Chain A
Amino acid sequence: MTTLFFTEHAKGQLSDQSLKAISGAKKFGDELHVLIAGSNIDDAVAQASKIEGVSKVIHLDNSEFDNILAEKLTTAIFDISADYNFFAAAATTTGKNVMPRLAAKLDVSQISEIIGVESPDTFIRTIYAGNAIATVQSSDAKKVLTIRPTAFQMSLLGDTACEITKVSSENIPTLSEFVSEELTKSDRPELTSAKTIISGGRGMQNGENFELLDKVAAKLNAAVGASRAAVDAGFVPNDYQVGQTGKVVAPELYIAVGISGAIQHLAGMKDSKIIVAINKDEEAPIFDVADYGLVADLFQVLPELEEAL
Chain B
Amino acid sequence: MKILVPVKRVIDPYVNIRVKSDQTGVETDNVKMSMNPFCEIAVEEAIRLKEAGKAEEIIAISIGNQQCQETIRTALAMGADRGIHVLTDNILEPLALAKILAKIYEEEKPGLVVMGKQAIDGDNNQTGQMFAALTNLSQGTFASKIDIEGEQAIVTREVDGGLQTIKISMPAVITTDLRLNEPRYASLPNIMKAKKKTIDQKAPEDFGVDVSPRLKILKVVEPPKRQAGIKVESVSELVEKLKNEAGVI
A: residues with CB less than 8 A from B are 17, 67, 69-71, 74, 92-94, 96-105, 107-113, 122, 126-140, 174-184, 190, 192-193, 196, 220, 237-239, 241, 244-246, 252-253, 262-264, 270-271, 273-276, 287-295, 301, 304-305, 308-309
> Is B16's CB under 8 angstroms from A132's CB?
no
Partner of A103, one of B14, B126, B169, B238: B126
- What residues of A have a CB within 8 angstroms of the CB of B215 in the complex? 109, 111, 136-139
Identify which of B56-64, B106-114, B153-161 touches chain A.
B153-161
Nearest CB on B from A169, distance (A): 17
In addition to A70-B139, A181-B162, A273-B248, 15 A-B residue pairs with Cβ atoms within 8 Å of each other are A67-B164, A97-B142, A99-B129, A101-B139, A110-B95, A113-B123, A126-B223, A134-B217, A176-B166, A181-B164, A196-B249, A253-B242, A293-B228, A293-B230, A293-B232
- Kindly state the separation between the CA atoms of A270 and B223 in the bound complex, as whole angstroms: 10
Is B195 part of the binding interface, using a Cβ–Cβ cutoff of 8 Å? no
Nearest CB on B from A241, distance (A): 7
- What residues of A have a CB within 8 angstroms of the CB of B248 in the complex? 196, 252-253, 273-274
B residues 202-221 with Cβ under 8 Å of A? 214-221
Is B196 part of the binding interface, using a Cβ–Cβ cutoff of 8 Å? no
Identify which of B45-53, B75-83, B130-138 touches chain A.
B130-138
Contact A71:B138 (CB < 8 A) given known A93-B157, A101-B133, A181-B164: yes
Nearest CB on B from A129, distance (A): 6
| Of listed B19, B26, B123, B162, residue having the most chain A CB within 10 A | B123
B residues 1-60 with Cβ under 8 Å of A? 11, 13-17, 19, 26, 37-38
- Kindly state the separation between the CA atoms of A117 and B61 in the bound complex, as whole angstroms: 35
**Cβ-closest chain B residue relative to A178:** B166
Contact A96:B141 (CB < 8 A) given known A109-B215, A135-B218: yes
- Kindly state the separation between the CA atoms of A98 and B130 in the bound complex, as whole angstroms: 10
> Is A100's CB under 8 angstroms from B163's CB?
no
| Of listed A136, A176, A220, A238, residue having the most chain B CB within 10 A | A176
Contact A193:B160 (CB < 8 A) given known A97-B129, A109-B95, A177-B166: yes
20 contacts between A and B (CB under 8 A): A71-B139, A93-B160, A96-B125, A98-B129, A100-B128, A100-B130, A104-B130, A110-B130, A112-B126, A126-B123, A139-B216, A179-B167, A220-B249, A274-B248, A289-B226, A291-B229, A292-B242, A294-B231, A304-B235, A308-B239
> Is B17's CB under 8 angstroms from A237's CB?
no
- What residues of B have a CB within 8 angstroms of the CB of A70 in the complex? 129, 132, 139, 141
> Is B235's CB under 8 angstroms from A101's CB?
no
> Is B216's CB under 8 angstroms from A97's CB?
no
- Kindly state the separation between the CA atoms of A252 and B248 in the bound complex, as whole angstroms: 7
Is B179 part of the binding interface, using a Cβ–Cβ cutoff of 8 Å? yes
- Kindly state the separation between the CA atoms of A92 and B141 in the bound complex, as whole angstroms: 13
- What residues of A have a CB within 8 angstroms of the CB of B216 in the complex? 136-139
- Kindly state the separation between the CA atoms of A275 and B161 in the bound complex, as whole angstroms: 24
Partner of B235, one of A253, A271, A294: A294
| Of listed A140, A238, A273, residue having the most chain B CB within 10 A | A238
